[in-house]
Amino acid sequence: MGFPFIFRGALDVRATAINEEMKLAAVHALAKLTREPVPEKVFSAYGGAPFEFGPEYIIPKPFDSRVLLWVCPAVAKAAMESGVARTKIDLDAYVATLEKRLGVRQSFVRSIKDKIESDQSRTENGSLLRIVFPEGSNHKILKACDIIKRENICEPILLGNEQRIRETIQKLGLEESLSGVTVITPSASESRGAYAQEFWNHRQRRGLTQEQAFSLMKNENYYGSMMVQRNDADGLLSGVTQSYPDTIRPFLEVVGARKNMRIAGVYMMLFKDRIFFFADTTVNIEPSASDLADIAICAAEEARFFDVDPKVAMLSFSNFGSNNHPLSEGSRSCSLNQTASTGHCSGWRMQGDTAVVPEIVDETFPFCEIKGGANVLIFPDLQSANICYKLLQRIGGAEAIGPILVGMNKPINVLQRSADVEEIVNMAMITVLEINKTRTSPKPH
């Protein structure tokens, strides 16, 4: 297991020899890694059955990509400390370089981590930002929160039956990091009455009674949404055990959209050399032209936040009005002259390949404002967007990160039901970035 990575670490510091210190460093790195929680992707490569440190698992598996990130830096450090390295390197920067070699997803996740570290991801009193997890007893959520706590990403708040959650934490062996985590049972919370009263005040003219409001506050998603609405938590992440409609409904009723904005779901689709933003993949079934304009503005804003210059394409089965069918009308699909908000956008609907293949635009449609290929793709309806991203994820080799809820009044995100622990951690990091964005940026009008 250590053999190729010993050489990698030695070469990267131009070591004159591979000494005992370097070999021991590799051994200790492997030993420490074996005691770390194993990612679900490694389980999948070995039949899907989970395993942990013990008689049947005493060294990392060959398909565990983390070995590169543990052994190489340890060897390089030992070479520098023992005096055989001819080049001194910054180990943190070195790890970042190694992560880029693992693919675009790993590199992108590293950029998110760097962004969190550079941002002030703290509350006013200096504590970590607080993200509430309504599915507090779920094993994946708890394993993700273990990583989140150990890496100081945020301060998780777990909702659910406290006794059951504490027992599950103990059963999973996560007491060291999660023993002091905040756990709230909504039905027994002192805040339940105040939350119910505020929710009733907000929804009474939509038929909600006080009794219904009080009853709903037993629901972890409603309770967690009220925590965010009242600033008792900074953000929320939920959905790994529930259907998407059941998960998002409380968020929409309690928090809702920003003024004059449309809530939408955006997926970041990561390929080897390109990143795309797909919208709307999860919320609006049949968006109007006005809805599509709002979705495009929010998706472009999200791309810009991740340091991507947005080039927005409104997708269809025709190009620039070549078909006068109502589903691909010849007039502009929506008014998108707000280039300050969206970046580059033609406003006309175009076919998928026209949007992403620069040569088609250059040769056939030179008048098109988008040059170099679009990277923010706005689909005409939910079914086309949802089908497209899932096919690209499952058979097209794309890495999907999301869905990110854009247009929300507060930083709330939804997890896929199939999300693994790593994906939950990634979405927690994105939620932290969203919290920082809302605290430092003025809301668009």
What is the reported pLDDT for 116? 78
| Relative orientation angle of helices 162-171 and 139-150, to the nearest 10 degrees | 70
E strand or H helix that includes residue 265: strand 264-270
Cβ-based neighbours of 413, under 8 Å, separated by 6 or more: 235, 236, 237, 403, 404, 405, 427, 430, 431, 434
In whole angstroms, give the CA distance from residue 127 to residue 105: 29
SS3 state of residue 268: strand
The two structure tokens encoding residue 257: 């959209």
For the entire predicted model, the pTM comes to 0.79
Report how far apart, in Å, the C-alpha atoms of 238 and of each of 144, 148, 407 are: 12, 15, 17
In whole angstroms, give the CA distance from residue 395 to residue 18: 43
**Residue 228 DSSP label:** H
Fold match flag (103-119+127-256+409-445 vs 264-407): yes
Cβ-based neighbours of 91, under 8 Å, separated by 6 or more: 73, 76, 77
In whole angstroms, give the CA distance from residue 287 to residue 380: 7
| Relative orientation angle of helices 220-229 and 192-203, to the nearest 10 degrees | 80
**111 contacts 134 by C-beta, under 8 angstroms:** no
Tens-binned pLDDT, residue by residue, of the chain (445 aa) = 788 899 999 999 999 999 999 999 999 999 999 988 787 778 877 777 878 888 888 888 888 888 999 999 999 999 999 999 999 999 988 988 888 777 667 777 777 877 777 665 566 666 789 999 999 999 999 999 999 998 888 999 999 999 999 999 999 888 888 988 999 999 999 999 999 999 999 999 888 999 999 999 999 999 999 999 999 999 999 999 988 888 999 999 999 888 777 889 999 998 877 889 999 999 889 998 888 888 998 899 889 888 888 999 989 887 876 666 666 553 344 545 444 455 566 556 888 888 888 898 888 888 887 888 889 999 999 999 999 999 998 888 888 888 899 888 899 999 988 788 888 998 999 999 889 877 665 544 4
SS3 state of residue 270: strand
In whole angstroms, give the CA distance from residue 209 to residue 112: 43
If one looks up domain 264-407 in CATH, what number appears? 3.40.50.10750
370: left (phi over 0), alpha (psi -120 to 50) or beta: beta
Q: Which fold would CATH assign to domain 103-119+127-256+409-445? A: Rossmann fold (3.40.50)
DSSP E strand stretches across 140-233? 155-159, 182-184
**Domain range list for the chain:** 3-101, 103-119+127-256+409-445, 264-407
In whole angstroms, give the CA distance from residue 50 to residue 57: 11
DSSP-derived secondary structure for 344-412 = EEEEEEE-HHHHH-HHHHHHH-TT-S--S--SEEE-SSHHHHHHHHHHHHHHS--EEEEEEEESBSS-E
What is the reported pLDDT for 124? 61
Q: How far is CA 13 from the centre of its chain?
A: 34
What is the reported pLDDT for 355? 87
What is the reported pLDDT for 331? 37
The two structure tokens encoding residue 52: 């942990």
What is the reported pLDDT for 32? 93
What is the reported pLDDT for 445? 40
What is the reported pLDDT for 444? 45
Adjacency order of strands within the sheet including 412-414: 182-184, 155-159, 130-133, 235-238, 412-414
Q: Which residues of 13-24 are buried (b: 16+ CB within 10 A; e: fewer)?
A: bebeebbeebee
What is the reported pLDDT for 209? 94
In whole angstroms, give the CA distance from residue 140 to residue 53: 18
SS3 state of residue 334: coil
**385 contacts 379 by C-beta, under 8 angstroms:** yes
Report how far apart, in Å, the C-alpha atoms of 147 and of each of 144, 270, 333, 369, 381 are: 5, 23, 45, 44, 37
SS3 state of residue 311: strand
